[in-house]
Structure 1
Amino acid sequence: MAANFACGLPIARRTSWTNENPGHKFVASKFYNYEIGQRGCNTFEWHDEDIVHWQKDVTSMLEAEKHSILKSRLVSESYEKDRLVEELEKMKKKSL
């Protein structure tokens, strides 16, 4: 594989983490933005075999678990922040 596509843009080997193609390898322009589908010079190639259903299911479950863990951390951090703000307010009132 060459370091650049025919358009001259550098390529990057990436892994898809979408629900449709979790773990699927591809190459695209180094400037590829999967969120908006912009592919630099519009060159895009899958670089592995299709995944089987159980792989997709396991990857999707792991991704959901990761999101759940991150969400619980965010809730916990938000609670801690609120608690600290409340403590700070109490301290300010005591000092007045």
Structure 2
Amino acid sequence: MKCLCGIPCATRTSWTHENPRRKFVACKFFNHETGQRGCNIFYWVDEEQTDWQRDVINVLVAEKHRVATDLSIVKARFTCLEHEKKRLTEELDKIERKL
């Protein structure tokens, strides 16, 4: 389907708090940050979610972000430990050479 701009419409997924994981079709010039919709072609592909569905999806999205943040912290700590290990190994080598 082409929009009024003459280009094929885009099927996208909403990740807003109000409409998480809902599919919609819109003009490719649609910009969710500014609300600009190009030629204003926009419609939902799926049915509206229940409050329960919306809440569950939002909790899962928040949990995904928390886990991703925890993983980043663990990776950073691991990197610090690798640097510390390298520093201590070099220091131990120096001490062993002195002995």
Distance 1:88 1:95 in 2: 11
Question: Deviation digits for residues 16-53 of structure 1, max 9, x if unmatched?
Answer: 12111112210123454434545454432222221110
Q: Is the 8 A contact 1:9 1:41 kept in 2?
A: no
Letter of the 1:62 counterpart? L
Superposition pairs of residues 10-89 of structure 1, within 5 angstroms: 10-30=8-28, 32-89=30-87
Aligned match of 2:88: 90
Shift of 1:54: 0.4
Q: How many residues align?
A: 94
Letter of the 2:51 counterpart? H
Aligned residues: percent identity? 43
Q: 1:42 to 1:90 in 2, by over 3 A?
A: farther
Unaligned runs of 5+ in 1: none
Letter of the 1:85 counterpart? H
Larger Rg: 2
Q: 1:10 to 1:76 in 2, by over 3 A?
A: same
Q: Aligned Cα RMSD in Å?
A: 2.3
Q: TM-score w.r.t. structure 1 length?
A: 0.76
Q: TM-score w.r.t. structure 2 length?
A: 0.74
Q: 1:35 to 1:92 in 2, by over 3 A?
A: farther
Distance 1:93 1:85 in 2: 12
